[in-house]
A = this chain, B = another copy of it.
Amino acid sequence: MYSITISHHFMIAHGLVGTVFGPAQQLHGATFVVEGELRRYALDADRIVCDIGRALDLLKTVLAEFDYRSLDEFAEFLGRNTTREFLACEVHKRLVRRIEEGALGSQASTSLRVVLRENQVAWSAYDAPLG
């Protein structure tokens, strides 16, 4: 199994709903460092998983939707807690949708793992097959 991983970050504000979140119920924020790991069984004719430049651009495009924003203002997230795990999945969904639309060319990746690092002592991930 081959994989490539690309990394970028975004910075958001949000508050979480539920006593389990303690002080994180208050409006606060985070720098999220995101890693996207794309896997496939064999390399393409250029001996790569995919064009790393396009993969990095794709990740930046997806993260730009959230960057420098308050997630509490996203209609789409109304009534849903924007936890690290939830956001890892949302980034995953958006990457998969665009990959399936051809953002990385015709390609044959089988799965994708998205990691969201919030600080040095806590991070989350979502891992699922493509297609």
Contacts and interface: CB of A to CB of B under 8 A. Distances in A.
Interface of A: 1-9, 11-14, 18, 20-24, 26-33, 37, 43, 46-49, 51-53, 56, 67-70, 73, 80-81, 83-86, 88-89, 118-128
Contact of A47 (B67, B86, B122, B123): B86
A125 B43 CA distance: 12
Contacts of A118: 11, 31
A51 B113 CA distance: 22
Copies in the complex: 6
Given A24-B68, A29-B14, A5 B119 contact: no
Given A26-B70, A46-B81, 14 more contacts: A2-B125, A4-B85, A13-B28, A13-B29, A27-B70, A27-B73, A28-B29, A28-B69, A29-B30, A30-B30, A43-B83, A46-B83, A48-B81, A49-B85
